[in-house]
């Protein structure tokens, strides 16, 4: 991402881009009342059975969103191909 080579070089990324809204915990902060929460855009992903979050710089959000969309499209294609393969196998074995 920024500073780590060309941001457009990301082909696919597993995860979801989400906006976190949360309190910081400081009693005198604007967020203490719960109305004006702090926001940050993060990549949410699982690793070793745990949900992880990676904060994204604003300049990289669109690139990462596009890469996660490509991942979901590739995953859907693999799922469809797998279903077609299973259907073909079942059809062949029934003959």
pLDDT tens for residues 50-75? 999 999 999 999 999 999 999 999 99
Does pTM surpass 0.95?
A: no
Answer whether residue 5 is part of any domain: no
Answer whether residue 29 is part of any domain: yes
Answer whether residue 2 is part of any domain: no
Which run of H or of E encompasses 75?
Answer: helix 61-94
Answer whether residue 60 is part of any domain: yes
Q: Count up the domains in the chain and report the number.
A: 1
In degrees and rounded to multiples of 5, residue 37 shows phi and psi of: -75, 155
> From CA 44, how far away is CA 39, in angstroms rounded?
14
pLDDT tens for residues 14-44? 999 999 999 988 999 988 888 889 999 999 9
Answer whether residue 61 is part of any domain: yes
Answer whether residue 7 is part of any domain: no
Residue 32 pLDDT: 87
Answer whether residue 79 is part of any domain: yes
Answer whether residue 71 is part of any domain: yes
Intra-chain end-to-end CA distance of the chain, in Å: 53
> From CA 34, how far away is CA 15, in angstroms rounded?
28
Beta strands in the chain (DSSP E): 16-22, 38-47, 50-55
Tell me the residue range of the domain where 61 lies. 14-94
């Amino acid at each position: 991402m920024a500073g780590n080579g060309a941001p457009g070089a990301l082909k696919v990324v597993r995860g979801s881009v989400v906006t976190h809204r949360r309190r910081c915990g400081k009693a005198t902060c604007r967020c203490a009342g719960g109305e004006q929460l702090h926001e940050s855009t993060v990549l949410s992903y699982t690793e070793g059975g745990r949900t992880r979050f990676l904060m994204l710089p604003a300049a990289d959000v669109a690139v990462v969103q596009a890469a996660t969309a490509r991942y979901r499209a590739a995953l859907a294609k693999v799922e469809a191909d797998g279903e077609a393969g299973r259907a073909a196998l079942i059809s062949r074995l029934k003959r």
